[in-house]
A and B are shown apart, each in its own frame.
Chain A
């Protein structure tokens, strides 16, 4: 029943993955899917996270799993307010999942689409300034031996920059491109999706360094300030040619009144040769600051937050109360079952567990006999938890009823939010022409940004 409601392979709301409980699916991509989830802990501890899972049919491909692991390892070494954190990495039933910071907001791509033109200059500059800071941090990062890692994001683009409703700016998907370099197929996919944000040297097959990210960030800056794409062409080879030669339309041709200083700021990082660009992302930051100071622009996250609300309306943080906490103790001992299979059967198991603890114990016995001891990391919440044991029974059905997953968009609508919802509606109405149908895809769009570009739905 659960399967029918959610489609094959989809984790139903309420499903448990180690210490995490799925709340709803945010997005589906070609390689992975992203869920909104909560981390459960003792004493009612609960934290909303984003959970990225390798799609079941890819979970057995070693090269892909290696790539996923690489991404997790790399991202886990980064700790910066401008980079969406990787909190955890887990394996359940032989399937890997990554636990990421949940960013409540939108991607810059969504901002650009919603704006249908330039963003306010201050907002655009603030966003790029923040990303440049995050990039510089990553570029400067050293390994445990103290030697520079030479990290290059390689995939800086509007869809990989998230802006929260609080005005925070977060870079995501750090290391995807680096990891994909090991795998020909996915490297191709990477090339396809993001040619428009690749540095020319990348397309020429030359070595990359941090200045490649500077180029990509400059493309983003250009697009945010001018409200149109920096590189576009009718086909991929034409696009590759444009980017490889850094042929873009001069800002003054798009906006004849543009201040020469701003035009310079926009194009300084768009040089076809790395030597012609600012040497570091920090350098980009400094140039933005100098420009802002000279032209009375304020770099303000508050302004970004205001802009977010003005563009998308007020949006409440995801509510978790609609999904009952896992009911049964048995479910808390995360021992892998004997067979490596898709997680779908696990849903069935979860449903059975809800029927009675006895069954749960029964199921557990052969698992222990298998001899695979639960790793210490996920065995943590073994202590009896003081969670309310109130609503164990109809959990699964209830959840499914609350959150029917639309088939077309692959995204479940937000749980009912009586008070805030109305407010959102009102706002939407006021913004003419934007009210229709944008609310349910909100979470999806956000989530899509965690997925590689070519794999995003829609």
Chain B
């Protein structure tokens, strides 16, 4: 029953104080958020994913575009990541040996790493992109958001969104080329890029429980 509700419906019920609705929304999107952090800050991925949902709960009333709840959530995730990175650069604790043990070594996204070096290369390149173009690629290819929805979410004309996306793709392609040397090339074709990203998402990035379709 819960599984058939749209994000917008669940959000509406959440705002009215329905805890089950908030849990359902969390389950549905946890994997996406966690995957984002595993790509960018895997040592703290679980922690940051939880912080993101906590922040989302606090601000549930401010959601502007209920049709793109996932994009909204990923926006919060991006801010959490920025905060995390600022904090790290202030403390710089990662050089210290004491920090070594605290690092959880098991992240789910990296199960991909063993699969093929081409996929590893794609993940490396994606993780090395600036946060904005990276997020755009993730939302479009990883989360399957179409360009009109993205344009609406970012509040820009469709043409602007499309050219931003093209630029992000180009950046990614260049990074992959640099990293690979004589290795695999990123396909120029949009469909091929989409299927490569689709392959990346098949990694079992775990939601706490199975999300309903």
Q: Do A and B bind each other?
A: yes
Q: How far is the CA of A205 from the CA of B101 in the complex (A)?
A: 27
A192 on the B face (CB < 8 A)? yes
- Which residue of B is nearest A158, CB measured? B97
Cβ-defined contact, A237 with B124, below 8 A: yes
User: When the two chains form their complex, are residues A238 and B127 in contact, meaning their CB atoms are under 8 A apart?
Assistant: yes
How many pairs, one residue from A and one from B, have CB atoms within 8 Å of each other in the complex?
A: 97
Confirm or deny: B117 has a beta carbon within 8 angstroms of a beta carbon on chain A. yes
The verdict on A235 contacting B106 (CB below 8 Å), with A229-B94, A229-B100, A241-B124 known, is no
Q: Is there an interface contact between A232 and B95, defined as CB atoms closer than 8 Å?
A: yes
B98: Cβ under 8 A from any A Cβ: yes
- Please report the C-alpha to C-alpha distance between residue A229 and residue B165 in the assembled complex, in whole angstroms: 37
A386 CB within 8 Å of chain B: no
| Residue in contact with B43 in the complex, picked from A109, A112, A229, A235, CB distance below 8 Å | A235
Q: Closest CB-CB distance, B176 to chain A, in whole Å?
A: 12
Find chain B residues with CB under 8 A from A57 CB.
Answer: none
Q: Give the interface SS of chain B, mostly helix, strand, loop or mixed.
A: helix
CB of B113 within 8 A of chain A? yes
Tell me the smallest distance from the CB of B119 to a CB of chain A, in Å.
11
Instruction: Report the separation of the CA atoms of residues A188 and B113 in the bound assembly, to the nearest whole angstrom.
Output: 7
- In angstroms, Cα B45 to Cα A236, docked, is 11
A225 CB → nearest B CB, Å: 14
Answer yes or no: B1 CB below 8 A from chain A CBs. no
Q: Do A192 and B179 touch (CB < 8 A)?
A: no
Residue B158 at the A interface, CB < 8 A?
Answer: no
Tell me whether B41 and A235 are in contact (CB under 8 A): yes
Structural contact, B94 and A234, CB atoms closer than 8 A: yes
Q: Which of A193, A229, A453 has the most CB of B within 10 A?
A: A229
Residues on the B chain within 8 Å of A205, using CB: 117, 120, 183
Shortest CB–CB separation between residue B43 and chain A, in angstroms?
6
On chain B, the residues within 8 Å of A433 by CB distance are: none
Residue contact A234 to B105, C-beta cutoff 8 Å: no
Residue in B88, B97, B124 whose beta carbon sits within 8 Å of that of A240 in the complex: B124
Complex Cα spacing A232 to B102, Å: 13
User: Complex: how many Å from CA A231 to CA B28?
Assistant: 36
Flag if A241 contacts B111 (CB, 8 Å): no
Central interface residue in A191, A234, A240, by most chain B CB within 10 Å: A234
Q: Which residues of B contact A302 (CB under 8 A)?
A: none
Interface assignment of A228: CB less than 8 Å from any CB of chain B: yes
Q: Known interface pairs A109-B97, A241-B179. Does A234 touch B114 (Cβ–Cβ under 8 Å)? A: no
Is there contact, CB below 8 Å, between B120 and A228? Answer: no
Residues of B within 8 A of A434 (CB): none
Partner of B114, one of A112, A187, A232, A236: A187
CA distance A205 to B96 in the complex (A): 29
0 or 1 for each of B100-125: is its CB under 8 Å from A? (1 = yes): 11000111001101110100100110
Closest CB of chain A to B131's CB: distance in Å?
13
Q: Is the CB of B97 within 8 A of A113?
A: yes
CA distance A458 to B94 in the complex (A): 17
Closest B residue by C-beta to A229: B95
Interface residues of B in 47-87 (CB under 8 A from A): 84-85
Q: Which residues of A sit under 8 angstroms from B37, Cβ to Cβ?
A: 235
A187 contacts across to B, CB distance below 8 A: 114
Asked if A234 and B110 sit within 8 Å, CB to CB, the answer is no
User: For the complex, is A233 an interface residue (Cβ under 8 Å from B)?
Assistant: yes
- From B43, B113, B115, B117, give the contact of A204 (CB < 8 A): B117
In the complex with contacts A240-B120, A241-B127, A234-B101 CB distance below 8 A: no
Specify the chain B residue showing the minimal Cβ separation from A184. B114
Q: Is the CB of A236 within 8 A of B107?
A: yes
**Residue in B closest to A191 when the chains form the complex, CB atoms:** B113
A192 and B110 in contact (CB under 8 A), knowing A238-B127, A241-B124?
yes
CA distance A203 to B179 in the complex (A): 11
Q: A232 touching B123 by the CB < 8 A rule?
A: no
Given contacts A189-B106, A240-B124, A454-B106, 6 further A-B contacts (CB under 8 A): A192-B110, A229-B100, A234-B40, A234-B84, A236-B43, A236-B113
23 A-B contacts (beta carbon < 8 Å): A113-B97, A188-B114, A191-B110, A193-B105, A228-B95, A228-B97, A229-B96, A229-B100, A233-B94, A234-B43, A234-B94, A235-B40, A235-B41, A236-B107, A236-B110, A237-B39, A237-B123, A237-B127, A237-B128, A240-B124, A241-B124, A453-B105, A454-B106
Binding site for A on B (CB under 8 A): 37-45, 84-85, 88, 94-98, 100-101, 105-107, 110-111, 113-115, 117, 120, 123-124, 126-128, 179, 181, 183
Leading 4 A-B pairs by shortest Cβ distance: A205-B117, A237-B127, A235-B42, A232-B94
